[in-house]
Structure 1
């Protein structure tokens, strides 16, 4: 349980190889915001239920052996992966000097995320594929190499336009490790545009934050425009209309970078 008043970033972890990179990214964000980091390993209930289907078979790449999915073996493998992931989280958190916690959660990744971490400020999730290798490599880099700032794209709609969330965006923009790009969806009302302009005028006098107007909310075209911006991370409010249908899934399938869902 988090300490009252403390900020928390929750990293959602699946049975995928990008967990180490995702945890490293989560530790970076938590460090910049002086927040604690939580890792939640997902045991996908939808996948677990599939193990009961008699016609379903699993093909092991190493042995080329085909066998029926075994729920006991699946659970055992999940526990082994969760143990390894917990160790990676501990390593990343200690290196960054962060408070951390870890837990395993059983549920459906696509439909139950709203119940996953109700007291967290942000949920960090990887896309349904691998992360971009150019930014999150865990290879050793010489101390003389100047790291590029993390390019954070933020979809600004009614949810992200709340004063406290705009303050968080501005706070991140002041960090040399972060470069902020705001995406303004089409058809947004004049009050939102005026609120955004007023905030940037008063809190971003050096114009560190860039603003790009999205021309089309159709999923494929929207994903293409976001991808063209060459961001490393996408931030979106849980109140965004894009999260209320299949649009966000279509977007994430085409983006080569993970997503932060802002909860509060």
Structure 2
């Protein structure tokens, strides 16, 4: 059996922040995870260049929420609001991270949000995103999260406001190198020793399933984790969603390539599950 090599430890966490109440909830989860991992926390606030450019157009108007009156959207007003939002976000990060005794930093960038996130992600081991941003509404995957998930090479954790990362973890395992990497990456996020995960083995035959179970079990045991194993020959999105809900998983761990679930199926799951999702590449 192949023993999984120890992956790079998570030493620096990037968390994408904006002015929404949901972003504060994401920040709280990022702080808690940084404490568990003894990691540095980097907060990033991006001034959306598209909003700035819109304000520079002479015909752009804004309509008051309560007065229903319109006025010209001025660039000075927009920039003042962006600075105020960044200051509030920085203060929230300083308060929470300082209270937890974390080493932290904060950065403001101006540009296309997804582009700036991807650039900053190159300095991090783990990227934490909310499923939707300040400009999104309802369920689904925001455009920024979708772009980062498609292009980032780092571990990416998608979280939901008010839903904390907790046991049990559910891992889909097919023996591929990226699935093996997912076992190690998720183990770093486990807050307690001697925890139990649900491991879904994808294999064509009982013999292949038994081999993969022994492989996964050996590697999890080396990290103080036990597994409860399920065997499926194949999986589609609806079947995966039913299983996730039935197991009540506290973290879904997915390999974003090289497994039975294609990219669109993964995005469909992200839009519907209520638990955090760790994507491993």
What TM-score does the superposition give when structure 1 sets the normalisation length?
0.66
**Residue 201 of structure 1 corresponds to which residue in structure 2?**
218
User: Which sections of structure 1, spanning at least 5 residues, go unmatched?
Assistant: 137-147
What TM-score does the superposition give when structure 2 sets the normalisation length?
0.63
The verdict on how the C-alpha distance between 1:86 and 1:30 changes in structure 2, with shifts beyond 3 A counting, is same
Once residues 65 and 226 of structure 1 are traced to their aligned partners in structure 2, the CA distance between those partners, rounded to angstroms, is: 48
Once residues 50 and 245 of structure 2 are traced to their aligned partners in structure 1, the CA distance between those partners, rounded to angstroms, is: 30
Larger radius of gyration: 2
Q: How does 1:42-121 map to 2 (within 5 A)?
A: 42-51=46-55, 57-110=61-114, 113-121=117-125
Secondary structure at 2:14 match in 1: strand
Within the candidate set 162, 179, 192, 1:175 is matched to 192
Once residues 116 and 201 of structure 1 are traced to their aligned partners in structure 2, the CA distance between those partners, rounded to angstroms, is: 36
**Residue 25 of structure 1 corresponds to which residue in structure 2?**
29
Structure number with higher helix proportion: 2
Once residues 244 and 66 of structure 1 are traced to their aligned partners in structure 2, the CA distance between those partners, rounded to angstroms, is: 46
**1:254 aligned to 2:272?**
yes
**1:166 aligned to 2:183?**
yes
Once residues 42 and 260 of structure 2 are traced to their aligned partners in structure 1, the CA distance between those partners, rounded to angstroms, is: 25
Tell me whether 76-85 or 106-115 shows the greater mean CA deviation: 106-115
C-alpha deviation, 1:96, in angstroms = 2.1
Q: Is the 8 A contact 2:194 2:225 kept in 1?
A: no
* Count of aligned pairs between the two proteins: 242
**1:216 aligned to 2:233?**
no
User: Which sections of structure 2, spanning at least 5 residues, go unmatched?
Assistant: 1-8, 139-159
Q: Is the 8 A contact 1:27 1:37 kept in 2?
A: yes
Once residues 102 and 14 of structure 2 are traced to their aligned partners in structure 1, the CA distance between those partners, rounded to angstroms, is: 13
The verdict on how the C-alpha distance between 1:174 and 1:90 changes in structure 2, with shifts beyond 3 A counting, is closer
C-alpha deviation, 1:102, in angstroms = 0.9
The verdict on how the C-alpha distance between 1:174 and 1:251 changes in structure 2, with shifts beyond 3 A counting, is closer
Tell me whether 66-75 or 100-109 shows the greater mean CA deviation: 66-75
